[in-house]
Structure 1
Amino acid sequence: MRRLSSITLATLLLCGAAGAAEKEAVRELDPVHVNAMRNPEVRKYKVIVAGLDAFERDRKLAPAAERLLFRVTTRKKDESPEPLAVRLAGDDGFKLPLAIDASGRFTVPRSEAALDAASELELNRKKGVYRTEPEIRTPGLPDNQRRLGDLRLECKVTIAMAKAEIPTFWVLTINTFLMRTDWCGFFGDPDDTRFEGASRHAHFGYRTDRPLARALLVDGNRSALLKVEGRSFNVPIGNHTWSDDAVVELTWAEAATGTAGETPRTAP
């Protein structure tokens, strides 16, 4: 039971900020004239700045990644005929359009004016159509490979943004419960036996654009199959017996072959 409770907490701490957003009013993003969605994952500019700070602070995890990207992905079918647009908008008419590429990726600059205007990230879509998440990728890797250090840094950014959004009381409560301020270190920590092995089995989830057949974590001559659920895969990022240079090799469901059932070379 304690194992279940700790894993449940680890899930809730990443979702708490999203629940708070449900009560906020929406803006209209002109000139498209549809309700603007403040994404439940990325909303207030000060939260984004917390992510930018975490990226710089823990940059050593992904030294080749030049910048923090944000990626927009669909939650459900987008029926709007208008091109997808994103901007920062705040008090006194402050507006800062952001360039978004064909893959739904964009960067957010540091801006004192945006902070002073209490800006928020806005999409020209109704709430619930899209989600926005940080993305960190080492250049040169194919789309079906994710470097473990990049994923660890993504977690650091995600957690920093969550901490900036939820009440301080909950941050301190979770720090006390986990007995650590590094929440990412909880996921897969092989030395943490306080929760009857929950840390060892609680893995951090990452989403992909396509359905997955499998995900294989490879580090030199060592490998292990990771749990796959639809378009997501779970990673023991807190298990530091796996190096930052380890790679998750993804096999897309539509391209799955007989090799998808191969046995990993060694167990984790």
Structure 2
Amino acid sequence: MKAEPVRALAAIGLGTLLLCGGATAAEDKPVRELEPVHVNAMRNPEVRKYKVILAGLDAFDRHRQLAPAAERLQFRLRAQAKDEAAQPLAIRLVGDAGFNMPLPIDAEGRFVVPRSEAAEDAESELELNRKRHAYRTDPDIRTPGLPANQRRLGDLRLECKVTVAMAKEEIPTFVVLAINTIILRTDWCNFFGDPDDFRWEGVSKKAHFPFRSERPLAGAVLVDGNRSAKLEAKGKTFQVPIGNPNWSDDAVVELSYADAPDAPTGTAGETPRTAP
């Protein structure tokens, strides 16, 4: 198999891995027993190790220039299926020697995880009062002032940096090294839409990084000044060429929703926009 098809397949596999969360590569590990006084009494709650969260916080600090107006890293809980539990969502850091730090969640499922030496020393886990796989935890980085249907490209690039850092902390080292070898780089985010690897004009047709919307999508358009390009959008997922340097960090992805046909639109390809 030639190099470019192999790397295209790697893009698809890598995108799927990151979209589904690195934890799937290391799931079903034993978890600590819960006591009745804890935030929930589920035997197998949704958990994520604190050291994985710290890897995301470190990546956010290293690459803050991508989204300088974003004051802090937030995470967002996304239901994988309809949540019929009567108990309100609750999340906390829980660790050895009785360490317990409840974390507030806003109405949209967003929360912040602080840096804490005590949590690190207790080898804490981020624990949600739902069973495994009921929810996933994604970074959520947004420049203030943008409408809900717009996502700034620099914000999405930073989300990728955080997601990849967390995934690398979760998946086995040999998997990380294998991916590095196949895509010929350690910066996985720059692989997606890299024009040096995928020689289509405008944006790559293969190597896109997947992001989620809260609502089913009718379309997605990448807008940068007087240029625009139609992006692939299916269900609640839209694909973005975050590794393509021809699009600035201030470019904006405009999302139109299946239940709102009058949402903003644009012109496919690197041509002037015809929509307002």
TM-score by length of 1: 0.89
Unaligned runs of 5+ in 2: none
Deviation at 1:170? 1.9
SS in 1 for 2:139: strand
Task: State whether structure 2 residue 10 is matched by structure 1 residue 2.
Answer: no
Q: Which residue number in structure 1 is paired with residue 28 of structure 2?
A: 22
Among 148, 152, 168, the alignment partner of 2:153 is 148
Deviation at 1:259? 7.0
Q: Which residue number in structure 2 is paired with residue 69 of structure 1?
A: 74
Inter-partner Cα distance in structure 2 for 1:31 and 1:238: 40
Q: Is the 8 A contact 2:92 2:101 kept in 1?
A: yes
More helix by share: 1
Among 253, 260, 268, the alignment partner of 1:264 is 268
1:115-147 deviation digits (Å, cap 9, x = unpaired): 111100100111222111001000111110000
Provide the identity percentage: 61
Inter-partner Cα distance in structure 2 for 1:13 and 1:128: 15
Inter-partner Cα distance in structure 2 for 1:189 and 1:64: 26
1:85-137 deviation digits (Å, cap 9, x = unpaired): 00001111111100111110000000111111110010011122211100100
RMSD: 2.3
Among 186, 193, 206, the alignment partner of 2:191 is 186
Alignment of 1:70-219 (within 5 A): 70-192=75-197, 201-219=206-224
Task: State whether structure 2 residue 255 is matched by structure 1 residue 250.
Answer: yes
Question: What amino acid maps onto 2:153 in structure 1?
Answer: L
Q: Which residue number in structure 2 is paired with residue 33 of structure 1?
A: 41
Q: Is the 8 A contact 2:256 2:263 kept in 1?
A: no
SS in 2 for 1:34: coil
Inter-partner Cα distance in structure 2 for 1:207 and 1:37: 23
SS in 2 for 1:176: helix
Alignment of 1:224-239 (within 5 A): 224-239=229-244
Question: What amino acid maps onto 2:137 in structure 1?
Answer: T
Unaligned runs of 5+ in 1: none
Q: Is the 8 A contact 1:32 1:82 kept in 2?
A: no
Deviation at 1:242? 0.2
